Structure 1
């Protein structure tokens, strides 16, 4: 019998979009790159819409999922989440989305659920661990190389710690990445380890919890690169754990 595809939750946000004859319509959406990457990896993408009940108690939702991707997006995290005032360059805040993703990420951490945070999602994972966000990286890096042109991904290299989850996920100690961000990690939260940096400017590019089976944040956008193995690594970890559980169950009969 063919094994069921794992359910991979992909967080979505309420945005204003235009399509066909309709303009400026509220829509719940997530970039299709996440969906396609999960499908290529053999998973079933499940879009997670901000929901008040799941924000209050995300356990029932997480029980339906095998892993969660906390996605990137246009809005910045509310600086109040990490005890700062807004920077002049900070983008719009999406309070409903912040509350929802914060609740999901906290519960996933507590449960040990497999979790990947991408860009904004990486920053959310860091905040969950008590870390802080650098609100405008050009202030500390001296350049805007991680978001050269708005709406176009920048290409650069990332160096990864040997043996880290990040290195295993990409299949090496260096990887080309696609970036589009102006914020990043200032201080990693207790329990998280910095395992990836931009070798040119030292910007933090990957964080992870080595005590969890798969709890990884990356500042780049693996969903926009068909050659990236990061989302595939998440889905593969789900399948590995499922197979291990099935073998143990069979052995107990």
Structure 2
């Protein structure tokens, strides 16, 4: 007899992963109106890793603890620049217009997730939100620091660049000592927030990933792993962490 076919766990048995989303004008069919949306890449990455994605659009904050208690993990998606007022700076001319509703929502979710020790993965803006919550600051326009546009070469185009990873880190155990990652950002962490540890760097010294030692899973990456389905290691490790019973 052949081996029994593998049965995929039902949706209700898989970890529930909240993904923060945009609130933007969008068009479909005959309609054009504000819409809560997120790139399908995030949904596909969470699903492929074995999680069930749930979109979390910007909304009045209230008390997010009850929502977070129903989730197994939180993904802070990429998106527009964080308002510099959130880290006590004046805006740079190249910093995007503030999105107060999204900032309020994601800052509150991140604080709540850290308090609950809810596993958290921050992508691009998500790393910056995590850093801001913990009291860090951002480089508002990287080309002034690095002297080139190598972190964001062309509008809406991801490009590969190497990062060096600290081997003695959670990220190092996932990716090894280095990786080729898909990059698209013009800002990055500057002063790191309290407790955060830098664990990956680009060749120009820009911090490309941070993690919070002692947390069940709290990792921010400046690149876009959701856009690289050929390398699912980061999302796979994240969803596996959700399936572990905390001590």
Give the TM-score normalised by structure 2: 0.93
Partner of 2:125: 120
Partner of 1:93: 98
- 1:39 aligned counterpart, secondary structure: helix
Counterpart check, 1:215 vs 2:218: yes
Instruction: For 1:33 and 1:175, locate their aligned partners in 2 and report how far apart those are by CA, in whole Å.
Output: 20
How large is the Cα RMSD of the aligned pairs?
1.4
Task: Say which of 44, 55, 62 aligns to 2:52.
Answer: 44
Residue in 2 that maps onto 1:230 = 234
More helix by share: 1
Shift of 1:239: 1.3
Q: Is 1:5 the equivalent of 2:9? A: no
| Correspondence for 1:14 among 10, 23, 32 | 23
CA distance in 1, matches of 2:106, 2:96: 18
Partner residue in 2 for 1:31: 39
Aligned counterpart, 1:185? 189
Structure 1 position 155 matched with structure 2 position 160: yes
What is the CA–CA distance in structure 2 between the aligned matches of 1:19 and 1:153, rounded to whole Å?
A: 25
5+ long unaligned stretches in structure 1: 246-253
Distance 1:232 1:92 in 2: 34
SS at match of 1:62: helix
Q: Does 1:60 align with 2:69?
A: no
**Alpha-carbon distance, 1:240 to partner:** 2.4
SS at match of 1:195: strand
Mapped to 2, the partners of 1:186 and 1:135 lie a distance apart of 9
Alignment pair present for 1:104 and 2:109 = yes
**Residue of structure 1 in register with 2:147 after alignment:** 142
> Post-superposition, which runs of at least 4 consecutive aligned residues in structure 1 deviate over 4 A?
none
Match of 2:244, SS state, is helix
Deviation of 1:21 after TM superposition, in Å, equals: 2.4
Paired residue secondary structure (1:35)? helix
Instruction: Give the CA deviation at 1:232.
Output: 1.1
| 1:56-103 superposed Cα distances (whole Å, 9 cap, x missing partner) | 211110011000001101x21000000000000001211100000000
TM-score by length of 1: 0.90
Instruction: Write the distance in 2 (CA, Å) between the matches of 1:82 and 1:186.
Output: 11
| Maintained 8 Å contact 2:49/2:232 | no
Unaligned runs of 5+ in 2: 1-6
The number of residues matched between the two structures is: 237
Deviation at 1:126, TM superposition (A): 0.2
| Cα drift, residue 128 of structure 1 | 0.7
Shift of 1:19: 2.1
